[in-house]
A and B are shown apart, each in its own frame.
Chain A
Amino acid sequence: MQVDTIKNGIVIDHITAGKGMKIYNLLGLDSLECSVAFIKNAPSRKMGKKDIIKIDADIVVDTAILGFVDPDVTVNIIKDNKIVEKKTIELPEKLVDVLKCKNPRCISMTEQELPHIFTLADKENRVYRCLYCETKA
């Protein structure tokens, strides 16, 4: 399958197959006016298959979201058809308004104006916990 290259924009590559749509939704890419290509199950020598997202605009993506969903992705910044920067992603220490706590007893469930904050509790197992009630994400 062939998808046009982009002139100025961002390619999120090496997304674990199956996680692309979650990233697409959490980054809110559906609200962008520019062209966005979402490629599912693209063949990959390294990974077998992978998902790819190409965004045809010079926007800033929330690397905390990428790090949380799939820290193995690479983000390529494209300028004038060339990759000018390759970013690797790290697990973010804190996620703000990315997830909502599922604990019905959590204060964030009743006080609507509170930011939903999760902190990295266990790096090895990629476990995040709600700042307020410590429930696992």
Chain B
Amino acid sequence: MRSLIDILELSTTELEKLLAVACDIIENPQKYAHKCDGKKLATLFFEPSTRTRLSFEAAMYELGGNVLGFSEANSSSAAKGESVADTAKTVGCYADIIAMRHPKEGAPLVASMNSSVPVINAGDGGHNHPTQTLADLLTIHREKGRFDNLTVGFCGDLKFGRTVHSLISALKRYKNVKFVFISPSELKIPDYVKETLTKEGIKYTETTDLEGSMADLDILYMTRVQRERFFNEEDYLRLKDSYILTPEKLANAKEDMSILHPLPRVNEISVAIDNDPRACYFKQVFNGKIMRMALILKLLEVE
């Protein structure tokens, strides 16, 4: 029995297999419509995340399975003070697989250490969000056809942005990948991420200039400055509009650059860009559901 807590638990070979299954699901959805008949997914969402929860639920329904769960801590036994370990042990008796979102970092790991069924980390605080990374990777795979020889720009909140950290971890395993970190100084990429890149000889640059970096990028990964990651409302208000992508700023961008965003967006990508062929963020949403389907099949060991 395996869980997925951190994207690096998947080797590049396993990832390739998962991408192949995902592409097959897109090509032949009917083939997969009853793969999980009689199976149940528990979505344990201790903090609200409509998008991720619906994506997991849609994935399970499209595989023929069923879903049970809760969408906020108040409607769970956690409100009565139950530990994550006990919740996982209990839910393991009801469901075949668990998807857990929790505001505390490491909670899904604790669940996986105590559960009799596989646990998927659906986001733990500012730490990991591996299924978002799977969505990102399928999008890059479908748009670019490769993971090597890419220059990837990350823009916005690179300090608290867990999707950024996970995607860097996944992409740095491929040859000749360069990173450009574009952020205000308060939201710079953490030192430990840079230390790892330096140690592994991976090229990266840091800048505060979005427009000036644009021409080099094959992929631009935009992020939201998230209110819930700040302790201080003033800091949030001061920084939230720092980097807004507009059609003017795309003037120097490559014609085949892909714009990604984990969504939801607030205002960091102008809606005027939504019809630009380079905008891939709604494709990412679709790809996220497909990768969750592929992951559920893998963890349930359904052929």
Are B104 and A106 interface neighbours, CB within 8 A? yes
Which of B104, B107, B126 gathers most chain A CB within 10 Å? B104
Closest to A105 in B: B125
Given contacts A105-B103, A111-B84, contact A133 B127 (CB under 8 A): yes
CB contacts under 8 Å to B, within A92-122, are: 103, 105-111, 113-114
Are A133 and B106 interface neighbours, CB within 8 A? yes
Are A114 and B104 interface neighbours, CB within 8 A? no
Closest to B104 in A: A107
Given contacts A105-B103, A105-B104, A107-B104, contact A133 B110 (CB under 8 A): no
Could you say which residues of chain B place their CB within 8 Å of the CB of A135? 105
Closest to B191 in A: A136
Could you say which residues of chain A place their CB within 8 Å of the CB of B104? 105-107, 109-110
Q: How far is the CB of A101 from chain B (nearest CB, A)?
A: 9
The binding surface of chain B is classed by DSSP as mixed
Interface residues on B, range: 10 to 19
Complex CA gap A101/B3 in Å reads 24
A131 at the interface (CB under 8 A from B): yes
Closest to B126 in A: A105
Given contacts A133-B127, A134-B127, A136-B192, contact A108 B83 (CB under 8 A): no
A-B contact count (CB 8 A): 46
Complex CA gap A131/B112 in Å reads 13
Are B84 and A133 interface neighbours, CB within 8 A? no
Chain A, residues 77-99, CB within 8 Å of chain B (1/0): the string is 00000000000000000000000
Could you say which residues of chain B place their CB within 8 Å of the CB of A110? 104
Closest to B83 in A: A111
Query: Pick the contact of B110 from A103, A114, A134, A136 — CB < 8 Å?
Result: A114
Chain B, residues 94-130, CB within 8 Å of chain A (1/0): the string is 0000000011111101100000000000001111000
Apart from A103-B105, A114-B85, what are 5 other A-B pairs with CB-CB below 8 Å?
A105-B125, A106-B105, A114-B110, A132-B110, A134-B105
Q: List 24 A-B contacts (CB under 8 A).
A: A105-B103, A105-B105, A105-B125, A105-B126, A105-B127, A106-B105, A106-B106, A107-B84, A107-B109, A107-B110, A107-B124, A108-B106, A109-B104, A110-B104, A111-B85, A130-B106, A131-B106, A131-B109, A132-B106, A132-B109, A133-B106, A133-B124, A134-B105, A134-B127
